[in-house]
Amino acid sequence: MSDFSQTTLALYPHPTPVQFNPIANVDLVPGTPVFQLVSDDTPGEVGKAKGAAGLFACVGFTALPGVATKRVRTQFIGPLTLTEDLWAAVNADSENLQTGLTYYLSGATAGKITKTRPDTFKVPVGVALSPDTLLIIPGSRLDA
């Protein structure tokens, strides 16, 4: 698989088959887990995903910074490489990614991921390949 780092995105500004450009409903930092907003008022928009009732469907991660009402590059599967500082900013555990661990949507904070499996609305989103790369593997809600 290809490395979708910031450098790659700069060289290839058009979306790849694993990326899309929805409209952000709020400002988003790279690495923010997002979900598709579903309403007649917000067709095609994404917002910050959270592992809670009504917000448990993660459709991807922002690959570049996003500004409210503008399109934002979003990746929905495969490896996403960002700086360790950017991953720490969206990690509810306030640390870099830990290689080999599964990450879930945070149940407490929208737009964050965590290595701690939540008690409710367990939604796995990927596995850390290194401190700067998350292999995005969108999962379904786990009830067990």
How high is the pLDDT of residue 72?
A: 82
Residue-wise pLDDT for 91-115, tens only, equals 998 888 999 999 988 878 888 888 9
CA distance 99 to 118: 19
CA distance 135 to 26: 25
How high is the pLDDT of residue 59?
A: 66
Against a cut of 0.85, is the pTM above it?
no
Residue-wise pLDDT for 52-100, tens only, equals 555 545 667 888 888 888 888 888 888 999 999 999 999 998 888 999 9
How wide is the angle at C-alpha 32 spanned by C-alphas 28 and 33, nearest 5°?
Answer: 130
Instruction: Report, as an integer, the average pLDDT of 41-51.
Output: 63
Q: In what order do the strands lie in the sheet with 23-24?
A: 19-20, 74-75, 60-62, 33-36, 45-48, 23-24
DSSP letters, 52-101, are STT-----EEESS-B-TTSB--EE-SEEEE--HHHHHHHBTTSS---TT-
